Every structure is written in structure tokens, then in C-alpha cells.
Amino acid sequence: MTEVRLPKPGDAIDEAEITKFLIEEGATVSEGDPLYSLATDKVEMDIEAPSSGTVAWKVEEGGTYDIGTLVAVIS
């Protein structure tokens, strides 16, 4: 099982918005596939899956979360 946490896209950034899930709940993802999109006041980016498996989301799409928040689990 792999925990997916909200990354720190820049030094002065403490939180980011999950703008879109690119993989549905319960779907299978491969390592390196785009997993979700995030946005801050300075950057927008897609985050890749760190491992392969089935995705279980732990946050809501459209929510703003602190850096390090558990976003999903891949098992």
C-alpha cells in the first residue's frame, strides 16, 4: 500500500487545491500515470502516481488542503 500525500510545489506554499481527479475511485492506475491536478496561487500541475494499484481517494475534489495531507491510498 502506498500513501499519496499533497506535495510541496514551492518554498512559500503551505496549501493547494485539488482541482481534478484524473483517476476514478476504485480504478487501477500505473506508476507514472497522471493521478490528480492541483493548483496554488502560483502554479498548476498534474501529480503522477508513485506506484501501481487501485486508487482510494481520502480527500474531496475541489478542496484546499495543507501540504502533506493524505490525498489517496494506492493498494
pLDDT at 49: 97
pLDDT band at residue 11 using 50, 70 and 90 as cut-offs: confident
CATH topology of domain 2-74: OB fold (Dihydrolipoamide Acetyltransferase, E2P) (2.40.50)
pLDDT at 13: 86
Kindly state the cell numbers that stand for 3. Answer: 500513501
Inter-residue contact 72 to 6 (CB < 8 Å) = no
∠ CA 44-72-62, nearest 5°, is 45
List, for residues 15-52, the tens digit of each pLDDT value: 999 999 999 999 999 999 999 999 998 889 999 999 99
Mean pLDDT of 7-11: 82
Q: Give Cβ neighbours of residue 45 (< 8 Å, ≥ 6 apart).
A: 9, 37, 38, 39
pLDDT at 9: 78
